């Protein structure tokens, strides 16, 4: 009888060990399991809404347990979120100057910052170019209605102001500005709906469906233009650094770069 009891105890022990081992393997007792539901909040420039959506979609195929909550907005607005709310896990503004400010204020883990691509400003006009705009100088011509980004709002606003100042056109262009925008996306809308005759946006946006067949692109000569570097970094307020790092690694990976290129970006 004693021998049978020992056998029963041994069997129960083996079953218990196997069960517990199985629970660890399936993640029930493992807080770091790949099956654990996790989430990250990313702050992304509004002009990246198209490429951002695809990057998130492809990232989720690799990491279905990591939910990515994206907040799109003007880079100035996103910086304000870091400044006032001290929240967000990944910062992806449209110009490096916003990242510099974030680093100076200790909102970003400096060693996580990576440069992804270039943002190239271009002039867009209505299809057919009825105002005969062919250069930056023409933005100051009489009778031309201009839309422009707020200088302290979206990255395109700050960059446009620098470009206009660089080419000594501040006063002439200022007279023609009929609307200012807090996001670069709105500038494209103003143009295609006929509210303005010309505006400056990022080159990659010229392939968007919203402007298809409705706009013409006037490139700005390199010596007159100011290109922006697009960075990504993990914030000092990050809740799940492992998940945030996985996302950053993906958007800067070869797979991620192909998605950036698909949407018209020139990879560094």
Q: What is the mean pLDDT of residues 182-200?
A: 97
For position 267, what pLDDT does the model report? Answer: 83
DSSP state, residue 1? -
Q: Which of 220, 139, 135 is nearest to 173 (CA)?
A: 139
Q: Output the pLDDT for position 266.
A: 85
Q: Is the pLDDT of residue 91 over 80?
A: yes
End-to-end distance of the chain based on CA atoms, in angstroms?
Answer: 77
Residues 178 and 196: beta-carbon distance below 8 Å = yes
Q: Is the pLDDT of residue 66 over 50?
A: yes
User: To the nearest whole number, what is the mean pLDDT of the chain?
Assistant: 90
Flag whether pLDDT at 8 surpasses 90. no
CA torsion 68-69-70-71 (nearest 10°) is -160
User: What is the reported pLDDT for 15?
Assistant: 45
Domains of the chain with CATH codes: 38-118+228-267 (3.40.190.10), 121-219 (3.40.190.10)
Token pair 């062919």 is at which residue? 134
Instruction: Give the Cα-Cα-Cα angle 147, 152, 158 (nearest 5 degrees).
Output: 65
> For position 94, what pLDDT does the model report?
96
Q: What is the mean pLDDT of residues 59-63?
A: 98
The answer to whether residues 47 and 204 touch, using CB atoms and an 8 Å cutoff, is yes
């Amino acid at each position: 009888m004693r021998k049978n009891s020992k056998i029963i105890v041994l069997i129960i022990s083996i079953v218990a060990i196997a069960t517990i081992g199985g629970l660890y393997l399936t993640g029930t007792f493992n807080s770091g399991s790949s099956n654990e539901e996790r989430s990250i909040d990313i702050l992304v420039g509004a002009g990246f809404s198209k490429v951002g959506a695809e990057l998130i979609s492809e990232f989720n195929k690799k990491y279905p347990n990591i939910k990515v909550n994206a907040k799109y907005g003007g880079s100035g607005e996103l910086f304000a979120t870091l400044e006032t709310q001290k929240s967000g896990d990944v910062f992806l503004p449209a110009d490096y100057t916003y990242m510099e400010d974030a680093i100076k204020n200790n909102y970003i883990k400096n060693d996580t910052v990576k440069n992804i691509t270039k943002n190239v400003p271009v002039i867009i006009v209505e299809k057919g170019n009825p105002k005969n705009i062919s250069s930056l100088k023409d933005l100051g011509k009489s009778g031309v209605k201009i839309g422009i980004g707020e200088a302290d709002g979206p990255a395109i606003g700050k960059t446009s102001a620098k470009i206009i100042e660089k080419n000594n056109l501040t006063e002439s262009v200022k007279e023609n500005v009929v609307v200012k925008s807090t996001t670069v996306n709105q500038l494209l809308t103003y143009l295609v709906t006929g509210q303005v005759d010309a505006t400056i946006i990022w080159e990659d946006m010229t392939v968007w469906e919203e402007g298809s067949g409705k706009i013409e692109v006037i490139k700005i000569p390199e010596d007159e233009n100011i290109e922006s570097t697009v960075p990504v970094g993990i914030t000092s307020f990050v809740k799940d650094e492992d998940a945030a790092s996985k996302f950053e690694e993906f958007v800067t990976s070869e797979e991620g770069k192909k998605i950036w290129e698909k949407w018209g970006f020139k990879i560094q």
